[in-house]
Chains A and B, each alone.
Chain A
Amino acid sequence: MNLDFTPQEEQFRQEVRAWLQDNAPREHRPGDGEAMRDFDIAWQRRQYEGGWAGIAWPEEYGGRGLSTIEQLIWYQEYARAGAPYIGVNFVGVLHGGPTLIANGSEEQKKAHLLRILKGEEVWCQGFSEPGSGSDLASLRTRAEIDGDHLVVNGQKIWTSFAQWADYQELLVRTDPDAPKHKGISWVICDMRAPGVRVRPIRTIAGHHEYCEVFYDDVRIPLANVVGGLNNGWRVAMSTLGFERGTGFMNEQVRLATDVEALIALVKSRPALMRDTDITRRLSRLRAETAALQAMTYAGISLNERRGAPGAEASILRLYHGLLTQRLGRLSMEVLGTANLELSDPEAGWTGPYLYSFSRTIGGGTAEIQRNIIAERVLGLPRSR
């Protein structure tokens, strides 16, 4: 066991640090609206031009072809530099793109990957439906084959940033007669196609982060099916693997910065320093945040040996979600009356506190993560 980074990795770290120092946006990231979208896209573009987009993506699709370790170094430095949340590029860069790399046809890869890295294509994820959340495989949005097209009718919900997206990773039912996991397809949906209608929904943190999406005879070329017709469940599991695994590396690293910021705040106020209930809870959170980082290292080490993220990603995801919520709760106590003022979901304290409630819902709820851990990590009998 070791924590040594190779000379090449250290060199890489120095380059990343220097570049972020000069290029990470200093200005406040707008929390909503077109200003937010424009900000996120411009920052993505700048990263691409600097050669830092798609560090672990293959070179032939515009990436750097490096390992998860370099990816981790990037995120460590990213958090250290206080660089902004990835925002509208989350889906494209962190799981849509990786899903295409793993499952897409050559044409699909050529059409989208480079554009995602350059910030020219924003993606969203159309998985959840009004009737299908945790039980994702029960989804009912249907797609019928008509010549060389699919015709889609139905509805998705909670689709983050759908109002800004150019494309969508869309799960549809292509075989209503097959068992529920076997009749699903993962398709690339053009959000500008006729018949797609988007209605933004406001979150408890005050922003229009997610949306309802309606499909009314939307025609999608069959060539947009990824990983084969009726094979969408397997592709979706690979998407969720990326989303729950490497997709959250950034936030895992970022948590340590936030915990230290709250500790510094408490240390600057003698009255709070005398409150051992606060200081001890914060101290425990600090220790657990250290453990989260160690778990991230352990997870990467396992992936490097095994070649793919496993069900253990659910452990990290759950632990991170719960820690983030405890940090948010503590910050509300520490802030005193200043906690009456609402900040953006990604800045200050009250916005992140409210946002933290989503950390055990989005990407699979805490209960679903526990089911996965119980059944696939511990081998317990299936729950009913």
Chain B
Amino acid sequence: MDLMPSPEEEQIIDTARALLSKELPVDYLRWEKGAAAAPDRALLSAFAELGWIALGLPEDAGGFGFGATEEMLLFREAGRALVTPMLMAAVIAARLAAARGDAESVAALVSGERKVGLTISADGGEPHYVIEGDGADHVLLVAGNRVALLPAGNFGERAPVAGVDGAVTLERATLNEDGAALSADGEAARPLLRHLSLLIAATLVGAAEAVRDLTVAHASERSQFGQKIGSFQAVSHPCADMAVRCEAALSQAKLAAIALRDGSEDAGFQVQAARIVAIDAAIANASAAIQLHGGMGFAAEYPIHFYLKRAHLLDQVGGAAASQLDAFFALDAL
């Protein structure tokens, strides 16, 4: 039993962290020309080349055969860097294609040639919200118990709308049917939804950690009343609570990733728990972070709000917190 990353896992973390902090610094300027023009898009091919999309796919399915643990650690870094959810969509789309035995699609996805947006709808009904569909040729649909990969052309009446998370593009659209390229329903969708939840949990852990770090740095720098604000307990204690939430969410995400990788019976339980604690950590930490930054925290030029908004966005993908809690409660004890 060991929850510390192995040397190979460390290497994945280090590579990702180094690349992302250099190429995708979290700065509002990154999205100033609109989300579709953000440098994330241009880097998707580079990520694909590094093997990030194929990382966890089995080798016989065209992947690199790493486990869910490596993917979890990678998406934690992606969460810190607020990488476009197109990366996550591509990873799940590749899994779907692999499960359907569509080697051609797998190849197009893992090479980064096929760009994938993300679509959600409440229980499959209208409207559909298309996230990062601007510039995507395919869309991963996650609705109720269904996961499908559709050509972007399957959506009609597409209308851009201002989104809460301004770091992604958002459109309302109607699903025109379904010359669905690839689709998984019910039981067949379950492993994909589970995997998606793990990646979401990992991303949210990264977000929770990023705002913790920004806040600790700010509280150690900023002085008022002749002292660092971090020496006021009304500041330092919420920071401590952030650290506690990070530790809980990270540990649980690790445990869930291991359970998923190993095909343990409790994988579903652990992943759902990871998602629940991670969304709470991300939203609570970002909220506290805004408060502890004062006026800066409320300013669009300061990056904390992006994390809060990304957390709310991801919460809607594959079932929001309340439905996660209901489903988790229904599970039997381990």
Q: Is the CB of B244 within 8 A of A3?
A: no
Check if B280 is an interface residue, CB within 8 A of chain A. yes
Q: Is the CB of B280 within 8 A of A284?
A: yes
Q: Is the CB of B239 within 8 A of A294?
A: no
Name the interface residues of A272-316: CB closer than 8 Å to any CB of B: 276, 279-280, 282-284, 286-288, 290-295, 297-298, 300-302, 304-305, 312, 315
Distance A74 CA – B169 CA, assembled complex (angstroms):
52
Residues in A whose Cβ lies below 8 Å from that of B232 = 383
Check if A379 is an interface residue, CB within 8 A of chain B. yes
Q: Is the CB of A377 within 8 A of B243?
A: yes
The minimal Cβ–Cβ distance linking B26 to chain A, given in whole angstroms, is 20
Distance A378 CA – B237 CA, assembled complex (angstroms):
11
- Which one of A4, A291, A300, A373 lies within 8 Å of B243 (CB-CB)? A373
Interface size on A, residues (CB 8 A): 52
Residues in B whose Cβ lies below 8 Å from that of A315 = 243-244, 247
Check if A260 is an interface residue, CB within 8 A of chain B. yes
A-B contact pairs, 10 of them (CB 8 A): A1-B257, A2-B1, A3-B258, A284-B276, A290-B255, A293-B255, A301-B1, A301-B2, A374-B230, A379-B220
Q: Is the CB of B244 within 8 A of A378?
A: no
Given contact pairs A263-B333, A374-B237, A287 touches B216 in the complex (Cβ within 8 A): no
Check if A380 is an interface residue, CB within 8 A of chain B. yes
Check if A370 is an interface residue, CB within 8 A of chain B. yes
Distance A136 CA – B208 CA, assembled complex (angstroms):
34
Check if A202 is an interface residue, CB within 8 A of chain B. no
Name the interface residues of B1-57: CB closer than 8 Å to any CB of A: 1-6, 9
Q: Is the CB of B255 within 8 A of A280?
A: no
Distance A304 CA – B2 CA, assembled complex (angstroms):
9
List 7 A-B pairs, minimum CB-CB distance, nearest first: A294-B251, A374-B236, A283-B329, A373-B240, A287-B276, A290-B273, A291-B252
Residues in B whose Cβ lies below 8 Å from that of A383 = 231-233, 236
Residues in B whose Cβ lies below 8 Å from that of A378 = 212, 216, 236, 239-240, 243
Given contact pairs A279-B329, A312-B247, A371-B236, A381 touches B2 in the complex (Cβ within 8 A): no
Q: Which residue of B lies closest to A292 (CB)?
A: B248
Q: Which residue of B lies closest to A69 (CB)?
A: B1
Residues in chain B within 8 A of chain A (CB atoms): 1-6, 9, 69, 212, 216, 219-220, 227-228, 230-233, 236-237, 239-241, 243-244, 247-252, 254-255, 257-259, 262, 264, 269-270, 272-274, 276-277, 280, 322, 325-326, 328-329, 333
Q: Which residue of A lies closest to B234 (CB)?
A: A383
Residues in A whose Cβ lies below 8 Å from that of B3 = 1, 294, 297-298, 301
- Which one of B216, B259, B276 lies within 8 Å of A380 (CB-CB)? B216
Q: Is the CB of A291 within 8 A of B249?
A: yes
Given contact pairs A291-B252, A318-B244, A286 touches B236 in the complex (Cβ within 8 A): no
Distance A382 CA – B230 CA, assembled complex (angstroms):
8
Given contact pairs A283-B325, A286-B329, A291-B251, A380 touches B280 in the complex (Cβ within 8 A): no
Check if A5 is an interface residue, CB within 8 A of chain B. yes
Q: Which residue of A lies closest to B230 (CB)?
A: A380
Please report whether the interface of chain B is mostly helix, strand, loop or mixed according to DSSP: helix
Check if A264 is an interface residue, CB within 8 A of chain B. yes
Residues in A whose Cβ lies below 8 Å from that of B1 = 2-5, 9, 69, 72, 297, 300-301
- Which one of B219, B220, B269, B325 lies within 8 Å of A290 (CB-CB)? B269
Q: Which residue of B lies closest to A282 (CB)?
A: B329
Q: Is the CB of B272 within 8 A of A1?
A: no
- Which one of A286, A302, A381 lies within 8 Å of B328 (CB-CB)? A286
Q: Is the CB of B220 within 8 A of A380?
A: yes
Distance A182 CA – B112 CA, assembled complex (angstroms):
63
Distance A291 CA – B255 CA, assembled complex (angstroms):
9
Most buried by B among A5, A263, A282, A373: A373
Check if A384 is an interface residue, CB within 8 A of chain B. yes
Given contact pairs A315-B243, A383-B236, A1 touches B326 in the complex (Cβ within 8 A): no
Q: Is the CB of B244 within 8 A of A374?
A: no
Residues in B whose Cβ lies below 8 Å from that of A264 = 333
Q: Is the CB of B216 within 8 A of A2?
A: no
The minimal Cβ–Cβ distance linking B67 to chain A, given in whole angstroms, is 9
Q: Is the CB of B248 within 8 A of A295?
A: yes
Distance A264 CA – B255 CA, assembled complex (angstroms):
24
Residues in B whose Cβ lies below 8 Å from that of A2 = 1-2, 258, 262
